[in-house]
Amino acid sequence: MTARLNLVVLGKQGAGKGTQCKRLAEIYAIPHVSTGDMLRAAVKAGTPLGQEVAAIMDAGALVSDDLVNRLVDERFKEPDAQRGALLDGFPRTLPQAEALEALLGDDGIKLCINLDVPIDLVTERLSSRRVCQECGNIYKDTDVEAISGTCSNCGGDVIQRNDDQPEAIRARLELYERDTAPLLSFYEQRGLLVRVDGDQSPDEVTDAITRVVREKGLA
């Protein structure tokens, strides 16, 4: 079987990871694996686990490594992930990165892409972000869909998520600096880290990433 194209996409909340992963998933025909989406699905389902996760996410905090590791382990066993995956929101911590290495073994992470965006810009992006509760489409607070509260894609409710409120944004960015930023050194030491300027148009960011993947001979 062809080696898996497993890519980690890092960056502060609001750096554009979700947007780029969706684009790259289409380009490389591999799934966009967002632990945030997986956790929000559990919250929406209203399971006991989902209720526990809801309280944590509303506070802008992170769920336990053990829980997220198990979610990702199960996801990699699904058929569509056999060619690889784009990991968005995982790993967030050094223990998660080490667990991911153990999980994937020799067929591990091929590249870690860090979308570099200034804090003031990601704060602005997050505070103005509105999201459809049904399909996950993202809008700005000035978009017609955000003003009307109705998604033009599926008709679902467009809301501002609790973790996009100012206090939660500050908490999330503080947690990023404490827990996730050290991952840059982790992947740099392994020769896998590539920094991409995220303060460009989405098309320019996509072009920069695909160019790196091509130059590395990964696709």
In a domain, 31, yes or no: yes
Domain containing 59 equals 5-116+167-215
161 in active site: yes
What predicted TM-score, i.e. pTM, was given to this entire model? 0.78
In a domain, 152, yes or no: no
Read off the pLDDT of each residue in 146-172 and give the average, rounded to a whole number.
93
Identify the band that residue 102 occupies on the pLDDT scale cut at 50, 70 and 90: very high
211 in active site: no
Which one of the listed residues 4, 17, 23, 130 is annotated catalytic? Answer: 17
Which one of the listed residues 12, 23, 75, 172 is annotated catalytic? Answer: 172
Separation between Cα atoms, residue 160 and residue 147, nearest integer Å: 11
pLDDT score at 193: 96
Domain count, the chain: 1
DSSP 8-state symbol, 177: I
Per-residue pLDDT tens digits for 68-90: 888 888 888 889 999 999 999 89
Separation between Cα atoms, residue 75 and residue 67, nearest integer Å: 13
What CATH number does residue 87 fall under?
3.40.50.300
Separation between Cα atoms, residue 53 and residue 44, nearest integer Å: 10
pLDDT score at 7: 96
Separation between Cα atoms, residue 31 and residue 108, nearest integer Å: 16
125 in active site: no
In a domain, 80, yes or no: yes
Cis bond before residue 91 (omega within 30° of 0): yes
83 in active site: no
In a domain, 123, yes or no: no
Identify the band that residue 1 occupies on the pLDDT scale cut at 50, 70 and 90: very low
